[in-house]
Amino acid sequence: MTLEEALSKYTPVIGLEVHAQLNTKSKAYSSDPNEFGSTPNTNVSPISLGHPGTLPRLNKEVVNSAIKLGLACQCDITREMHFDRKNYFYADLPKGYQITQDKTPICRGGRILIKDAQGNEKGIELTRIHMEEDSGKSMHDQDPFDTLIDLNRAGVPLLEMVTEPVIKDSTEAYNYLTEVRKLLRYLDVCDGNMEEGSMRCDVNISIMPKGSTEFGKRCEVKNLNSIRNVQRAIDSEIIRHAEILDKGGEVDVETRNFDAVTGTTTGLRSKEAAHDYRYFPEPDLGGITITQGYIDQIESSLPALPNDLYKKYINDLGLSDYDASNIVDSKAIALYFEEIIQHTKNYKSAANWVMGSVKSYLNQNAIEIDSFPISAQHIALLINLIDGGKINNGIATQKVFPAMLEKPNLTPEQIAADNNWIVQDNSDELESIIKGIFESNPSETARFKDGEKKLTGFFMGLVMRETKGTADPKTTAQLLNKIVNTI
């Protein structure tokens, strides 16, 4: 069965759980370092290893990060809350339980705006965001006989974001995760690198016959390590569920694993119910009270968010959807663009430079904007130099910009002046050059005079060659048409 055939008969019902690993310096309930890539089992202590007699202590920055994310998602912030123990056995969970939040999540409700498969704006409602700690990491591919355990990740702080079952297809899921990752990076609470495991996603999916309102039995797909694989896993599960139902079967409620090589899922275990975890309040951590003043203080520190910047670029600056979307896609690029427009009002030209020459240089050299040698202010000065008629676009792109990369401390005007690239405004000298070109090319001049306008480019090229690109194109075009009629 194809995906199209499955979707013609059934409506998917999808909810996502995103685990965002926070970039705090220490772990959630101990002072152990929170660092990726350390030697295995070095970022540990008796607390994160769950030794008897040890007590956890809450990392305040975890609470601050949760409030930031909740405010950015328009959630209600819980004022009185506590932590809970979620009990289960994994070899890489040293305490035998996870400190999490069950009854009193720090954030309730809220939503994230995305574009659906048709490009229309859609709000993905959130059920909750809560704080918890990560488990360690089991590695099954390092030894042919044994599973190896690295407990560096045990106790690392997580924020779990749970959506309502309102996602209708894999495109919406892809777009949602893209927006979540972007938001986490703008807030600087998580780097969003799924390949490093700092952002992970579980998919809950069921399907129901078209027109039905009763949800089908759901499965959870875990261990998805890229946004693209989330999309592939959803499509695979839609087809699998549809084939089972078409044959009169019943979908088993279970947890499944996704195989990126085959693009299919396999069963792991039957799905746990909430009572299997034996939740109860964490006795070693006291409750938390959050005041409105504390929330207001954090809210005042929030940066400009991607959706706000997108609307600003569209509504206030008049940029296209394409330009606005590409600029806000990266926080660092958006900040660079924001600095450019502090020094120039030609917003379209600023967007063109950022999306064109600047990003091309970044891609060619495999660097981020933070390592780009030219300051945002100097890009703005270059734009103003063009708008002021002192250099033309060709000189700016082909000569001044490359020179700025070599000498980033010099202003573009200094570079243009030192190299005699400033546009000539001596009409008498330009007229003399044009007349000489017409005399040297009698055949083409006669055709141009007879109305063969495609020769304009030919003569423009000759003028630019004679003036080393410093002739003003607009003035040159006017003089070409004026002088040819006097010959």
Task: Give the pLDDT mean for 323-332.
Answer: 95
Residue, of 55 and 483, whose pLDDT is higher: 55
- Residue 424 has a pLDDT of 66
pLDDT of 274 higher than 60:
no
* DSSP strand pairing (219-224 vs 254-259): parallel
- Residue 427 has a pLDDT of 65
pLDDT of 279 higher than 60:
yes
Lowest mean pLDDT across 114-123, 197-206, 306-315, 375-384:
114-123
pLDDT of 451 higher than 90:
no
Confidence of residue 69 (pLDDT cuts 50, 70, 90): very high
Confidence of residue 435 (pLDDT cuts 50, 70, 90): confident
Confidence of residue 273 (pLDDT cuts 50, 70, 90): low
Lowest mean pLDDT across 207-221, 335-349, 438-452:
438-452
pLDDT of 350 higher than 90:
yes
- H/E stretch holding 85: strand 84-87
Give the integer Cα–Cα distance in Å for 480 and 483: 5
Q: What is the DSSP string of 329-385?
A: TSHHHHHHHHHHTTT-S-HHHHHHHIIIIIHHHHHHHT--GGG-SS-HHHHHHHHHH
Find tokens 């379209």 and name the residue: 348
Q: Decide: 181 and 330 in contact? Cβ < 8 Å.
A: no
pLDDT of 340 higher than 70:
yes
Q: Decide: 203 and 14 in contact? Cβ < 8 Å.
A: yes
Task: Give the pLDDT mean for 427-454.
Answer: 81
- Residue 89 has a pLDDT of 84
Give the integer Cα–Cα distance in Å for 401 and 92: 54
Give the integer Cα–Cα distance in Å for 286 and 304: 34
Half-sphere exposure of 58 (CA within 13 A, CB side): 20
Angle, helix 331-340 to helix 376-387, in steps of 10 degrees: 50
Nearest alpha-carbon partner for 12 in 210, 252, 258, 176: 210
pTM listed for this prediction: 0.84
Find tokens 């360690």 and name the residue: 136
Task: Give the pLDDT mean for 130-159.
Answer: 92
pLDDT of 423 higher than 80:
no
Could you tell me the two tokens for 138? 């089991």
Give the integer Cα–Cα distance in Å for 170 and 231: 5
Q: Where are the domains of the chain?
A: 3-293, 304-418, 427-484
The pairs formed by 297-305 with CB atoms below 8 angstroms and a separation of 24 or more are 298/64, 298/67, 298/68, 298/71, 299/71, 301/68, 302/68, 302/71, 302/72, 302/187, 303/186, 303/187, 303/188, 303/331, 304/186, 304/334, 304/338, 305/72, 305/183, 305/186, 305/187
Residue, of 118 and 184, whose pLDDT is higher: 184
Confidence of residue 272 (pLDDT cuts 50, 70, 90): low
- Residue 107 has a pLDDT of 98
Find tokens 């039957």 and name the residue: 270
CB burial readout 262-273, b (16+ within 10 A) else e: eebbeeeeebee
pLDDT of 32 higher than 90:
yes
Confidence of residue 76 (pLDDT cuts 50, 70, 90): very high
- Residue 275 has a pLDDT of 63
Q: Decide: 310 and 325 in contact? Cβ < 8 Å.
A: yes
Angle, helix 473-484 to helix 456-466, in steps of 10 degrees: 120
Could you tell me the two tokens for 221? 């797909």
pLDDT of 462 higher than 90:
no
pLDDT tens-place string over residues 162-208 = 999 999 999 999 999 999 999 999 999 999 998 888 999 999 999 99
- Residue 57 has a pLDDT of 95
E-only strand ranges, 119-253: 121-133, 137-139, 148-150, 157-163, 199-209, 219-224
Task: Give the pLDDT mean for 141-170.
Answer: 93
- The CA distances from residue 485 to 178, 212, 462, in Å, are 60, 77, 18
- Greatest mean pLDDT among 184-193, 211-220, 261-270, 452-461 lies in 184-193
Q: Decide: 177 and 293 in contact? Cβ < 8 Å.
A: no
Architecture of the domain whose range is 427-484: Orthogonal Bundle (1.10)
